Chain A
Amino acid sequence: MSETKIKVGAAETSLPAMAKDVLMTAVIALVLAVPFIGLKSDSVGTALELYTRWPEMFAIIGAVLVGRVAFLLLRLRRDQPRAQSAQKRAGVKELAANWGGKHIVLIGVAGFACAALLPMMPFASRYTVDIATTFLIYVMLGWGLNIVVGLAGLLDLGYVAFYAVGAYSYALLSTELGWSFWVCLPLAGVFAAAFGVMLGFPVLRLRGDYLAIVTLGFGEIIRVVLTNWVDFTKGPNGISGVPRPSFFGYSFSRGGEQTFHDLLGIAYSSQHRVVFLYFLILILAGLTNWFTLRMRKLPTGRAWEALREDEIACRSLGINPTNVKLSAFALGAMFAGFAGSFFATRQGFVSPESFTFMESAIILAIVVLGGMGSQMGVVLAAFALVILPEWFRDFQQYRMFLFGAAMVLIMVLKPTGVMGRREPTIRLHKKKDAAEDAEAQPEIAQ
């Protein structure tokens, strides 16, 4: 029945067809709901017992049916005045895309300025700055992964492994050898990149999906090793007492030799460190963004994108695919390494718990939902996936369910991501002409 629904547009708008559709939905919802919502197993002592929740189940099924009817009616309305409204919608979309395209630099700079001013705002509580810091970590990770997935088109499901390598290398170097954050930060990047090359060298010749599963496996291997190599990593308990960063040797503690508040001659405030960390990640993320935007206009970056488009054509032009992929993999890993060591110094604690597959999935979702290769898209998607759930803290237990459902929904509605439009890296003609050109270009979906 569902097959005909898709193909035959007119038939389904009739009342009987819609009734049939709703009835089918009801039957399926019932079958789905009975074992999980209607019935619930619960342990009583050592035994399992069965409970029923029929009223709740029928309420939920009712809600689903109302949703289905609303969906059908909406589609009915949308289908009828199709030509006109579709044209209008396309027009608005085109306008928004053009405006966004022309002013992308302006928006970026304004966004960065707002971000820089955030801690000075009156509403910026410690909590706000903290959340903003978390948000920026994900933005940075998203930008880093964007090099690998968005630009080079290599599907990496184990990106969090490089994040872990960065975090652990700082945690270990600082607690074992007493090295400072500023020495360890670049080292963490180098280690992560080295891991990227080590993994990448054997596996980068694999087809897309195989690469995905191998990187996923690699991420899990790193986590298992971190959990079980107790002598080296302190195992599942993690490493605590990771030193906090200093401002060129001036610490953010209340007392001690050289402190930040003494340097400036102001009163001690615990807010200082939070704000300092915020600026640190802002700079690191900014650096990642600058680097990526710059690389896009260089031969390496263009080769990444070309490789994503057609590897065989790349080979026919004398481009060594292995080197190009390795460079993307290593550089993407490097930024994860930087972010990792920032994470370690911010938390003061690292454990394998923080580096599960879920993290990789969230970062990948940020890249794909944002629109592959789009820097601005990463920011928007990170906002949707990191900040919005914060606001719904009251719905804590539904959060991850809604998160997953939202991922499906956004992909179904907008498979190319929120910001799917690609900005050329070089133009021959002036941008104004190009805009007219773009209008002349037929929109061929290929």
Chain B
Amino acid sequence: MTAVPMTEPMGQSLLDVEHLTMRFGGLTAIDDLSFTARRKEITSIIGPNGAGKTTVFNCLTGFYKPTVGRLKLSHPEKGEHYLERMDGFRIAQVADVGRTFQNIRLFPKMTVLENLIVAQHNVLMRASAFAVAGLFGLARYRDAEKAAVEKACHWLEKVNLIERADWEAGNLPYGDQRRLEIARAMCIDPVLLCLDEPAAGLNPRESLELNTLLTAIRDEQGIGILLIEHDMSVVMGISDHIVVLDHGRKISDGDPNFVRNDPTVIKAYLGEEEEEGDHA
């Protein structure tokens, strides 16, 4: 395989980040970052701790309003959305961007199945005619709920949690919680799935399963995946495209082979912080 700096467009462009800058008071967390994520590709964002990776996600999903920059999402069916102008919940509801969190955020007291049903809130709300149809048990709502359960079961089987569907989510082992969070994000039918360190805390076998799951999602659903990860076996194994950040700036951008051999990366990231890579 030859190393190429910027790959020829393989999938359609899905997310265009242009000149994204985020400042907190005097601190510049992201500095003029531009990159593109495509459909049917896994795009990884890597970089040492504090490089601003999670901040990129928080800008994308509306938790922070970027100081400068444009975040254009080209939805295959619904047209273009400018995420920097949208409320957080509308980014998920209208632009169909799903995400997971670095510190898992499930609904711990609700069951695994309920977690996935809640994710289908907007579809079910329409079906229940804002609770009216549901209150009186109309067939229209019953069918919609059945469909929602089926979709939930589909994803539970994919992440191998079907047996534990009635467990309280908070009682699941750590690795299961990570997979459940991915399943939950998939239940909103995203076109772009943002995963914040999905392999953190997983054992090697679980990481391997995660690789399979993510490539399956990419290939079967045809969506784009944006991945923040420290675990190099995951990143190098499944990424189609890697963006390297350091101190909020992009220092490299290309396919795994290119990035692996990029002297800037080796110097700034792998070279200087060797333990960092091993540790993760």
Contact = CB atoms under 8 A, between A and B. Distances in A.
B92 A300 contact: no
Contacts of B91: 318
Interface in A387-446: 422, 424-429, 433-434, 437, 441-444, 446
A181 B165 CA distance: 48
Contacts of B131: 295, 298-300
A316 interface: yes
B160 to A, nearest CB: 14
A428 B153 contact: yes
B71 interface: no
Contacts of A316: 61, 88, 92, 98-99, 101, 105, 185
B93 A298 contact: no
B125 A444 contact: no
| Residue among B99, B105, B120, B162 with the highest chain A CB neighbour number at 10 A | B105
Task: Tell me the dominant secondary structure on chain B's binding face.
Answer: helix
A285 B91 CA distance: 40
Interface in B74-92: 88-92
Interface string A278-317: 0000000000000100110111101101100110111111
A344 B185 CA distance: 49
B109 A309 contact: yes
Contacts of A320: 89-90, 93
B121 A319 contact: yes
A295 B137 CA distance: 11
B89 A306 contact: no
B122 A319 contact: yes
Given A305-B107, A309-B110, A316-B98, A429 B166 contact: yes
Interface in B105-140: 105-111, 113-114, 117-122, 124-125, 128, 130-131, 134-135
B7 interface: no
B192 to A, nearest CB: 13
Contacts, number: 136
A300 B124 CA distance: 9
A426 B170 CA distance: 17
Given A299-B125, A426-B114, A444-B170, A318 B90 contact: yes
Given A303-B121, A318-B90, A441-B167, A298 B113 contact: no
A312 B117 CA distance: 17
B171 interface: yes
B114 A424 contact: yes
B120 to A, nearest CB: 8
A217 interface: no
B149 interface: yes
Contact of A309 (B107, B113, B124, B125): B107
B135 to A, nearest CB: 6
Given A300-B125, A306-B107, A441 B63 contact: no
Contacts of B153: 428
Contacts of B145: 426
Contacts of A235: none
A38 interface: no
Interface residues of B, number: 50
A317 B188 contact: yes
Contacts of A303: 118, 121
Contacts of B106: 309-310, 313
Interface residues of A, number: 38
Interface in B46-91: 61-63, 88-91
A321 interface: yes
B184 interface: yes
Given A302-B121, A316-B99, A321 B89 contact: yes
A315 B111 CA distance: 19
B123 to A, nearest CB: 8
Interface in B258-274: none
A298 B89 contact: no
Contacts of B92: 315-318
B168 interface: yes
Interface in A240-267: none
Given A299-B125, A319-B122, A429-B165, A442 B171 contact: yes
Interface in A166-206: none
B128 A298 contact: yes
Contacts of A426: 111, 113-114, 117, 145, 149
B128 A428 contact: no
A33 B67 CA distance: 60
Nearest to B94: A318
A298 B118 contact: no
A444 B184 contact: no
A299 B114 contact: no
Nearest to B126: A299
Q: Which of B92, B131, B170 has the most CB of A within 10 A?
A: B131
Nearest to B133: A298
Contact of B166 (A299, A305, A315, A428): A428
Contacts of B167: 437, 441
Given A298-B128, A302-B118, A441 B107 contact: no
Contact of B149 (A299, A318, A428): A428
A433 B164 CA distance: 11
8 closest pairs, A vs B, by CB? A318-B93, A318-B92, A309-B107, A428-B165, A299-B124, A298-B134, A313-B105, A306-B118
Given A299-B131, A320-B90, 9 more contacts: A299-B118, A302-B114, A310-B108, A313-B106, A315-B62, A317-B98, A318-B92, A319-B93, A320-B93
29 contacts: A291-B135, A294-B134, A295-B135, A298-B128, A298-B134, A300-B125, A300-B130, A302-B110, A303-B121, A309-B107, A309-B109, A310-B105, A312-B63, A312-B101, A313-B101, A315-B63, A315-B89, A315-B92, A316-B99, A316-B185, A317-B118, A317-B184, A318-B188, A426-B149, A428-B113, A428-B162, A437-B164, A437-B167, A444-B171
Interface of A: 291, 294-295, 297-300, 302-303, 305-306, 309-310, 312-321, 422, 424-429, 433-434, 437, 441-444, 446
